[in-house]
């Protein structure tokens, strides 16, 4: 699968695929904080938003952009897309949990406004 990610930039190199995937994940994580950060200050809402966010990235990336770029059918359900969904949901959960923990730690460090 990771060499397919490398194919986004015309490569078949697995290392290039990992770098591309890492760059996309970094962008997605930062975007989560920028777009949804104000709603993800507490853990429960952050986890729900993270799950939804992971599902959106799965739909856009794994079901649409990747297959379209590779000349494959888009929005197709199979074993690969099913496992990819799980991975994207875990990413979303971790993004939400990480953001909420950082937001709470920053709140404790700075204390209440006076």
Distance of alpha carbon 80 from alpha carbon 21, whole angstroms: 16
* For range 20-44, the mean pLDDT: 92
Within 13 A of 101's CA, how many CA atoms are on the CB side? 6
pTM for the structure as a whole? 0.83
Greater pLDDT, 97 or 9 = 97
| Torsion from C-alpha of 80, 11, 18, 85, nearest 10 degrees | -20
Residue 64 makes CB contacts below 8 A (sequence gap 6+) with 74, 75
The CB density around residue 43, as the number of other CB atoms within 10 Å, is 15
**What is the predicted pLDDT for the residue at 101?**
92
Residue 84 makes CB contacts below 8 A (sequence gap 6+) with 1, 58, 62
Distance of alpha carbon 86 from alpha carbon 46, whole angstroms: 18
Q: Check whether 49 has a pLDDT greater than 90.
A: yes
């Amino acid at each position: 699968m990771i060499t397919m990610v490398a194919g986004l930039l015309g490569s078949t190199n697995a290392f290039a695929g990992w770098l591309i995937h890492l760059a996309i994940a970094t962008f997605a994580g930062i975007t989560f904080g920028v777009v949804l950060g104000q709603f993800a200050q507490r853990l429960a809402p952050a986890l729900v938003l993270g799950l939804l966010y992971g599902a959106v990235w799965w739909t856009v990336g794994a079901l649409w952009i990747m297959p379209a770029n590779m000349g494959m059918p888009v929005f197709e359900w199979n074993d690969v897309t099913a496992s990819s969904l799980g991975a994207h949901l875990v990413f979303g959960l971790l993004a939400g949990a990480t953001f909420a923990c950082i937001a709470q730690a920053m709140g404790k460090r700075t204390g209440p406004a006076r």
